[in-house]
Chains A and B, each alone.
Chain A
Amino acid sequence: MPVKDAMLTLVPDFEQAEPFRPSRRRFVRALLGGSLVASAASFLYPVLRYVVPPPATDMGGDTVLAAKTDELKPNSAKIFKFGSKPGLLVRTAEGEYRAVSAVCTHLSCTVQYKPDVHQVWCACHNGLYGLDGRNVSGPPPRPLEAYDVHLQGDQVVVSRKREA
């Protein structure tokens, strides 16, 4: 009988094992084991909750002042703070402003503008993006998030794209 053979390999004294019978000992054991498990859980639960940090309050909002208009020459760029993460503001050779997230979609290095090829480049693993954030070559799996740029007087204001 295959089932019985299997049981014999798992529990050598399967044949001698008594049929299940609730006994005082079994009850006390279950009680003791149960309370040990319960108290272990009551110690572990607060610890697990404790190690997860409370959500950080993002103080950046959806719009930031990225630069003054006289700050960037054509074909150059700067990193600005967008909330707690860096953004990249590029002034193209034609004098237009473009803004993208500066966090590489591959492994989160901070990207930079490469003026000789007019593209965004990540030094960590040689990823290249277009100025619209599109991933062009190298390991990056997704495009960089592109932001809206507005000029307000002498201020360059960057904001998150509104969901259409």
Chain B
Amino acid sequence: MSTVARVHHWLDERLDLKDTLAPLEHKTVPMHRLSYWYFLGGITLFLFMIQVCTGILLLLYYRPSANEAYESVQYITTQVQFGWLVRSIHSWSANLMILTAFAHMFSVLFLRAYRKPRELTWVSGMALLGLALTFGFSGYLLPWNTLAFFATKVGTEVAAQVPLVGHWMLVFLRGGEDVTGATLGRFFGFHVAVLPGITTLILGIHLLLVQKFGISMPPSVERESIYRAEVSRPMKFFPNFFLRELMAWYIALAALGALAALSPWGLGLKADPFAPAPAGIKPEWYFLWMFQTLKLIPSKLAFLDGEVVGVLAFAGAGLVWMLLPFLEGRNPQTGRKLVLGLAVFAVAYMASMTVYGFVAK
């Protein structure tokens, strides 16, 4: 027996590999004209793994205090060998991950993969998207530069608009009344300990659910395949689809490396709590549509403050979005149209508000 075979035999004797890996052996992925969308979830997972690896590397040098954070990031990008590359990959990968997560969400929506029995997969995915945005918001502050300082000030102030618990949330998030070194310490703790822990758990559930229910076939393809069987054929997940997924990861990595190397992430100026906010200040692009909406709402709507209305509207929309699979409900015909209409409206609204936010002063 060769060494590899002996090791395999040793492990098989103890772990019963054949039975343990049996589900992997039988798992198949339907291949048809829309199969390319299936890669998005995997790419998001890959970018998350990149975030974990580069995040751990950044932790080797980063110092979470108002006096040292900016300087330590400066040290990483100017003194540490390849430090600029590691930080740039972390920033680019974060943004690409949000992008692929949104694309994954809309592909699931338009391919109607959220339907029974996969409602919980959708809900867990929405939770992961929320976590990804929270990761982005908390990580944005860590370099302690001017943009991050004001983004955090505004973002936490938005949270304060929530009726009743708003002020409590503001103090909880900031670690006090103002954005200070205490806020930085908290955000650091959320970013490197709390969020990764929760995300790992929910990601595990999400992947288990995907594994349990298998890959969903879009209803349109399913209908076609009744008459013409050749429009869809199953492909073994391991190794056939898995190798294709690896190639997709490889391409994602190439794109990431090119972006990080050719367009390294800047650092900006160190935050000064007593300096005015710079002109043209904007949040990260994935918050831009909300930012632009808040700018458009008048300061008073009936007897309510405009901000309060906006924040409540976002919270309500998020809740509706999370419960989208349940809207199809008993009557799939009208429910389907409702969900589709909401999805089209959401894409159009978010896209146009984002563009508006980019060009608006």
Contact = CB atoms under 8 A, between A and B. Distances in A.
Contacts of B60: 50-51
A10 B2 contact: yes
Interface size classification for chain B = 10 to 19
B281 to A, nearest CB: 32
Contact of B57 (A10, A12, A39, A51): A51
A10 to B, nearest CB: 7
Looking at chain A's contact residues, is the secondary structure mostly helix, strand, loop, or mixed? helix
B85 interface: yes
Contacts of B83: 50
A49 to B, nearest CB: 4
Nearest to B57: A50
13 contacts: A12-B1, A46-B82, A47-B57, A47-B86, A49-B81, A49-B82, A50-B81, A50-B82, A50-B83, A51-B60, A52-B81, A54-B79, A54-B80
A46 B1 contact: no
Contacts of B80: 50, 53-54
Contacts of B81: 46, 49-50, 52, 54
Interface of A: 10-12, 39, 46-47, 49-54
A10 B5 CA distance: 11
Interface string B1-30: 110000000000000000000000000000
Nearest to A36: B250
Nearest to B83: A50
Interface in B61-88: 61, 79-83, 85-86
Contacts of B1: 12
Nearest 4 CB-CB pairs, A to B?
A: A46-B82, A49-B81, A50-B82, A54-B79
Contacts of B61: 53
Query: Max chain B CB contacts within 10 Å: which of A10, A52, A54?
Result: A54
B294 to A, nearest CB: 40
Contacts of A52: 81
Given A12-B1, A50-B83, 18 more contacts: A11-B2, A39-B250, A46-B81, A46-B82, A46-B85, A46-B86, A47-B57, A47-B86, A49-B82, A50-B57, A50-B60, A50-B82, A50-B86, A51-B60, A52-B81, A53-B61, A54-B79, A54-B81
Interface in B250-265: 250
B9 to A, nearest CB: 14
A95 to B, nearest CB: 43
A58 to B, nearest CB: 15
Query: Max chain A CB contacts within 10 Å: which of B2, B80, B81?
Result: B81
B109 to A, nearest CB: 34
A89 to B, nearest CB: 31
Contacts of A50: 57, 60, 80-83, 86
Nearest to B58: A50
